[in-house]
Structure 1
Amino acid sequence: MKNPIKVSFLLTAVFLLMSCSSDDNGSTQPTINFSVIGIWDLVEVNVSSAQDIDLDGTPSSNLVEELPCISGTLLIDADFSWTFEQSDVAITGITGGLFFAQCSGTTSATGTWTANDTEVLFQGSSQLESLRISGETLVNNIDEDLPGIGSFVYARRQ
């Protein structure tokens, strides 16, 4: 009778020791990518086919090169807040894959952010939800059909 009691006691002790691990702190914290902190400027507003909206004889698929009124700034701050202001672009189809584009006001938003190795996630506004980290740029793929925006690209201000 003594052996089953000893075995039972020993199994209980082993089970308790294994279930209380030293690396179990009760919660797991996600890793935050702090390399996204800074001021980011809008450098590209891409469309699917090159256009010559400014009629300078050089078509471009980047509307920033065609419309000088386009601008945008994104501040990602170390206190996990962000602010955003960007030109709105209105695009109207003409014919044969051509379109007319013009600036039509600005959009601004604020909120909180988090980031991992591949994307920055924004909370607080539907104007900006996530940006993919692509080397030294942040990219918002919209992929609208023509006439529409394909992507917005932001580069860190130097």
Structure 2
Amino acid sequence: MKKFKAISSFLVLIFLLVSCGSDDGGGEIATDLQVIGIWDLAEVNISSSQDVDMDGTSSTNLMDEVECISGTILIDGDGVWTFEQTGISITAITGGQYFAQCSGNDVTGTGAWSVNGSQITFQGSTLLGTLSFSGDRLTNNVGDDLPGVRSYVYIRRE
């Protein structure tokens, strides 16, 4: 009987040591928890400064120039994301100047999400693709020159 108790105790100890290994993906769970929340659009960055609102101050962030731009990404704990954002129309004028306005064609989407290191992949739609995650910022680096957008930056809502 003593032998049986000793072997049983030894097996329980081995089971506990194996099940509490450092390769159990604990880091990924922590990253997943860091991205869950509501993210608000804070920057719509373009390749050269523009003074769209004609206030005498140019900016590479269209949100400084066009008041109607807004956007939100909801990343929930069930692995689902929801997205809505104002549609933006950028038109060339002359001499490297552009006009930007809200187009009235809001963009929406939903799907599943997953995290791999500092990258969040939004599945189910081509709207977001893969965004970079760093602290309280999500960045969608589109990389286009005007009349396209360089990047969209979202900040976690407090």
**Secondary structure in 2 matching 1:64:** helix
Query: Structure 1 vs Structure 2: percent identity of aligned residues?
Result: 54
The structural deviation recorded for 1:29 is 6.5
**One-letter amino acid of the counterpart of residue 128, structure 2:** L
Correspondences of 1:41-120 after superposition (within 5 Å): 41-104=40-103, 105-120=105-120
Paired AA for residue 148 in structure 1 = G
What corresponds to 1:124 in structure 2?
A: 124
Counterpart of 1:103, as a letter, is C
Q: Could you list the runs of 4 or more consecutive aligned residues of structure 1 that deviate by over 6 angstroms after TM superposition?
A: none
SS of the residue corresponding to residue 84 of structure 1 reads strand
Counterpart CA distance in 2 for 1:135 and 1:35 is 8
> Post-superposition shift, 1:135?
3.0
Distance 1:122 1:148 in 2: 21
What's the CA shift for 1:52?
A: 0.6
User: How many residue pairs get matched?
Assistant: 133
Separation in structure 2 between the aligned mates of residue 154 and residue 70 of structure 1, nearest angstrom: 13
Q: CA RMSD in A?
A: 1.7
Distance, in Å, in 2 between the alignment partners of 1:154 and 1:75 is 11
Structure index of larger Rg: 1
Q: Following the alignment from structure 2 to structure 1, what is the Cα–Cα distance between the partners of residues 48 and 62?
A: 11
Equivalent residues in 2 for 1:5-44 (5 A)? 31-32=28-29, 33=31, 34-44=33-43
Name the CA distance, whole Å, in 2 between partners of 1:141 and 1:65: 19
* Gap regions ≥5 residues in structure 1: 1-21
